[in-house]
């Protein structure tokens, strides 16, 4: 067993897990944070995307011990009970998600992009979402929502979509 301590969503958490435990299993099974989903389990779908030290990673491919001592942000840590994060609000306002299975991973990939590039081009957004598969949408509304969120996060006036 390996003791793993991570700062997850601003809270230091520790668990004793077998060394082969993935970050995704640690989050879901040990910490009961089920926003990150087990999709393909080989890093192709992005449903398990979380941020580790600000970078989007596939939690199904990262071992829990690799996250030891690092900052992890999951979808559960993005908003408060009273207020959605601007990216989440933009996705809601634009109807950018349908079933929602891919949503946490897509939103966290968007956050990583906007943290690094506050005024991304459409191509940068497409590149940032390239590791996230969605079977429900054509990505058009997701891209529009991320552009909208980028403007809101930069403090520019934005009108709610019609």
- φ, ψ (nearest 5 deg) of residue 98: -110, -80
pTM: 0.95
* Sign, CA torsion 24/34/148/122: positive
Q: Look at residue 160 in the predicted model and tell me its pLDDT.
A: 73
| Number of neighbours of residue 30 by Cβ within 10 angstroms | 16
**Digit-coded pLDDT (tens) for 76-111:** 999 988 999 999 999 999 999 999 999 999 999 999
**Digit-coded pLDDT (tens) for 52-64:** 999 999 999 999 9
Mean pLDDT of the chain: 96
pLDDT above 70 for 162: no
| Domain range list for the chain | 2-77, 86-153
Among the listed residues 133, 79, 65, the one whose alpha carbon sits nearest the alpha carbon of residue 111: 79
Residues 6+ apart with CB under 8 A from 132: 45, 46, 47, 49, 102, 105, 106, 109
Superfamily of domain 2-77: Beta-grasp domain (3.10.20.30)
Instruction: Evaluate whether 127 touches 162 at the Cβ level (below 8 Å).
Output: no
Which ranges in the chain belong to alpha helices (H)?
A: 23-25, 86-94, 103-116, 122-129, 140-153
The domains spanning 2-77 and 86-153 adopt the same CATH topology: no
Who wins on pLDDT, 60 or 160?
60
DSSP-based three-state secondary structure for 53: coil
CATH 1.10.150.120 fits 86-153, yes or no: yes
**Digit-coded pLDDT (tens) for 142-157:** 999 999 999 999 999 8
Instruction: Give, for 51, the enclosing helix (H) or strand (E).
Output: strand 49-52
């Amino acid at each position: 067993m390996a003791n793993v301590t991570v700062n997850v969503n601003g809270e230091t958490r520790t668990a004793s897990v077998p060394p082969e435990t993935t970050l995704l299993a640690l989050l879901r099974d040990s910490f009961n944070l089920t926003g990150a989903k087990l999709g393909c389990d080989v890093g192709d779908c992005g449903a398990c995307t979380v941020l580790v030290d600000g970078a989007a990673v596939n939690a199904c491919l990262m071992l829990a011990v690799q996250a030891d001592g690092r900052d992890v942000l999951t979808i559960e840590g993005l908003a408060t009970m009273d207020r959605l994060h601007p990216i989440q609000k933009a996705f809601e306002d634009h109807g950018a998600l349908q079933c929602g299975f891919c949503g946490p991973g897509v939103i966290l990939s968007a956050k990583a992009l906007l943290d690094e590039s506050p005024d991304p081009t459409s191509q940068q957004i497409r590149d940032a979402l390239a590791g996230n598969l969605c079977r429900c949408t054509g990505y058009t509304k997701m891209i529009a929502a991320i552009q909208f969120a980028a403007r809101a996060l930069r403090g520019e006036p934005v009108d709610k979509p019609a």
